[in-house]
Amino acid sequence: MSKPSSVIKDDDSSVTFHLSFHLTIRDHRTDWELEVSQPIAGNYYPINLGIYLEDENKELSVLVDRAIGGSSIMDGQIELMLHRRLLHDDARGVGEVLNETVCALDDCKGSTIKGKYFFKIDPIGEGAKWRRSYSQEIYSPLIFAFAEQDGDDWMSSHVPTFTGLASSYSLPDNVAIITLQELDNGKVLLRLAHLYEIIKVTETSLSANQERAEMEKRRLAWKVENSSGKETKVSRGGPVDPVELVVELAPMEIRTFLVDLEYIKMFGA
């Protein structure tokens, strides 16, 4: 159990738990008015990504390297439970003790679990980029793979490097590749994710000298035959252009694609 404390003067509405791509706030439910009868158990969550506190000036963020239990029972304090061990039944319905042991010969000891926590303090509003971006490095680190060289002509019969992106292009900071998997039917499964949640966006005119809402009030109203006059609101990314192959991701949206590839024969293979 770890209990890092801070001088952040948070209140009940400013403690946020990252559950993968979902956010949960302490003592709050979006679907109904919550009556808190179990302030500890009712606010313990599985933390898959991290947790953060905020006040009017700063944010304290903690990222984890595995799924753990977490909460913030007291203001300014984070509680992280890496491993739970009980020598007696807690009468919560399990009907047995939670006492995992590791035995070597006749010597049995409680299991030891080690985890890593990543801390960062940011000015208010600037911690989300670090939490979303750095968490990808934690969960998707670089993996080195090695192969045994067969003879002296290995380089002449294999492609040593490959990239699916043009050398002049890279994915935006807010987009991550979640899945890139070759399927049995020769297709490739590609899953992209938009990492950030947008709190507020104000649209302006093309010249950025006024808000679009104000501009629309002074805009000429053109009467179009058979038109309802209502502008369609875009809440999801648009279709992929078959020529340009540009993918549009709405905030917090994940899209999945099946990609047909044209395999190019090289080195006379």
Domain boundaries, the chain: 15-91+112-139, 171-217+240-269
pLDDT: is 212 or 74 the higher one?
74
pLDDT: is 64 or 236 the higher one?
64
Residue range 30-42: mean pLDDT, rounded = 80
Residue range 128-148: mean pLDDT, rounded = 81
Residue range 243-255: mean pLDDT, rounded = 78
* Number of other residues whose CB lies within 10 A of the CB of residue 123: 9
Q: Of the candidates 163, 181, 187, 173, which has an alpha carbon nearest to the alpha carbon of residue 249?
A: 173
- Rounded-to-integer distance, Cα 141 and Cα 135, Å: 10
Query: What CATH architecture does domain 15-91+112-139 belong to?
Result: Distorted Sandwich (2.70)
Tell me if the pTM is above 0.75.
Answer: no
Q: Of the candidates 229, 247, 108, 54, which has an alpha carbon nearest to the alpha carbon of residue 169?
A: 247
